[in-house]
Amino acid sequence: MRVLMISKACIAGAYQKKLEEIASRGVDLTVIVPPYWRDDAGRRVLMERRHTDGYRLIETPMALNGQFHFHFYPGLATLIRDTRPDLIHIDEEPYNIATAHALWLARRSGARTLFFTWQNLNRAYPLPFRLIERYVYRNIGGALAGNRDAVDVLRAKGYAGPSWVIPQFGVDPALFRPKPERKSGTPFTVGWFSGRLHAFKGVHLLVEAVASLGDDTRLDILGWGPEENRLRALAAERGLGDRFRIVPGVPSHEVPAFASRLDVAVLPSLSTARWKEQFGRMLIEAMSCNVAVVGSDSGEIPHLIADSGLVFPEGDIAALASCLRRLRDDHALRLDFVRRGHDRVHANFTQARIAEATVDAYHAVMETTR
């Protein structure tokens, strides 16, 4: 089966492991990526090449780079003609111009199609995106949804085709692996490493909770963004001093070293009218590193953690502090969650497992549309 995947997310080297896994399952895979993606802070996130065996990774110019809804690939028609795919995997939301453009070209070439969505809120989009969404729903061959609520949204909006709940990426256990034995006297370390620091990520709640635990707990943050100055000021105000640090963004392959130094990873997300947690990738990365996890009950987090960690009501600082205190003071409980989390990730969320489920969806789309 010849598959052409279009994915700006695959500029991250760590995510490319899934592509190798897909190719190893009998798929003749070509992946199109832009040379960079301009994020919402205006930074150029450059394409990395880290896992490139067994498939073709092609850089091609992107029009309107950084415009989430409007971007597209001007050279896509030529690439489709050259690769002659049986199926085109459009790794984009159904309401984006890039998705409609790729779908239109795919229909002209006779290729089957599917898209990917994280959208777990039923939102009405303005024109032209509402029309794009309807066009995609009527003509696409299948939908990959990153969480359970996203499938409900698709159905509520009228999508009647096949769908699968498969996260966009898994974790590479060779990269996110258990930490070495900790030295005696090392402080209990809580951490967050989800990238952009926005208020809805709830990291300010984590600062408050850690500050309430006393002088034997520290907080490490890997991230950057509009909340950074607020978090530094709050940590100073609460007396965390040198028990608090923010590490700026690092290349994707350096994240495991940060994660593996933690005792507990926390995702304290806060739902808003326009957003709730769509997955919680840092949680599976932490689990793979034998780090205990705690998360709020926003969106997909409780389903992701299941019985492998602790969940608290979003926004409840006292409940979050209680979870951290339990894990700090009960070593046996923490080790039990570490074991459960490690087993859960290896059973469900490795790049190999995600690739296997994705290839199964490819075959199903080919059979259904045929």
What are the pLDDT digits (tens) for 162-173?
Answer: 999 999 999 999
So what's the pLDDT on residue 132? 97
In this structure, which topology does domain 2-170+350-369 adopt according to CATH? Rossmann fold (3.40.50)
Helices marked H in 33-190: 76-83, 97-109, 129-139, 148-156
Helices marked H in the chain: 16-23, 76-83, 97-109, 129-139, 148-156, 203-211, 228-237, 255-259, 281-288, 301-305, 317-329, 331-348, 351-369
d(Cα 210, Cα 264) in Å, to the nearest integer? 11
Q: How many CB atoms lie within 10 A of CB 182?
A: 12
Average pLDDT (51-67) is 97
Average pLDDT (66-78) is 97
pTM for this prediction: 0.91
Say which CATH superfamily domain 188-348 falls into.
Answer: Glycogen Phosphorylase B; (3.40.50.2000)
The answer to whether the beta carbons of residues 87 and 3 sit under 8 Å apart is: yes
- Residue 368 above 90 pLDDT? no
So what's the pLDDT on residue 184? 62
So what's the pLDDT on residue 305? 98
Could you tell me how far CA 156 lies from the centroid of its own chain?
24
d(Cα 147, Cα 271) in Å, to the nearest integer? 15
Average pLDDT (337-357) is 97
- Residue 185 above 70 pLDDT? no
Average pLDDT (351-356) is 98
Residue with tokens 């030295």: 183
So what's the pLDDT on residue 348? 97
The answer to whether the beta carbons of residues 338 and 291 sit under 8 Å apart is: yes
Residues of the chain within CATH 3.40.50.2000 domain(s) are 2-170+350-369, 188-348
Instruction: Dump pLDDT digits (tens) for 142-161.
Output: 999 999 999 999 999 999 99
- Residue 249 above 80 pLDDT? no
Mean residue pLDDT across the chain: 95
Q: Which residues contact 287 (CB under 8 A, 6 or more apart)?
A: 171, 293, 308, 309, 338, 341, 342, 344, 345, 349
Average pLDDT (332-351) is 97
More confident residue, 216 or 189: 189
So what's the pLDDT on residue 183? 62
Instruction: Dump pLDDT digits (tens) for 268-307.
Output: 999 999 999 999 999 999 999 999 999 999 999 999 999 9
Q: Which residues contact 346 (CB under 8 A, 6 or more apart)?
A: 173, 288
Residue with tokens 């700090």: 328
SS3 339: helix
**Long-range CB contacts (< 8 A, 24+ apart) of 101-105?**
101/72, 101/73, 101/76, 102/6, 102/72, 102/73, 102/76, 103/135, 103/136, 103/139, 103/140, 105/76, 105/77, 105/80
So what's the pLDDT on residue 14? 87
Question: Is the Cα torsion angle 77, 138, 120, 272 positive or negative in sign?
Answer: positive
For the chain, give the percent of residues with pLDDT over 90: 90
Could you tell me how far CA 288 lies from the centroid of its own chain?
15
So what's the pLDDT on residue 319? 98
d(Cα 109, Cα 26) in Å, to the nearest integer? 22
d(Cα 185, Cα 18) in Å, to the nearest integer? 38
Average pLDDT (54-62) is 98
Average pLDDT (222-226) is 92
Q: Note if the bond before 128 is cis, omega within 30 degrees.
A: yes
- Residue 11 above 60 pLDDT? yes
- Residue 181 above 70 pLDDT? no
- Residue 260 above 80 pLDDT? yes
d(Cα 50, Cα 343) in Å, to the nearest integer? 26
Average pLDDT (79-98) is 98
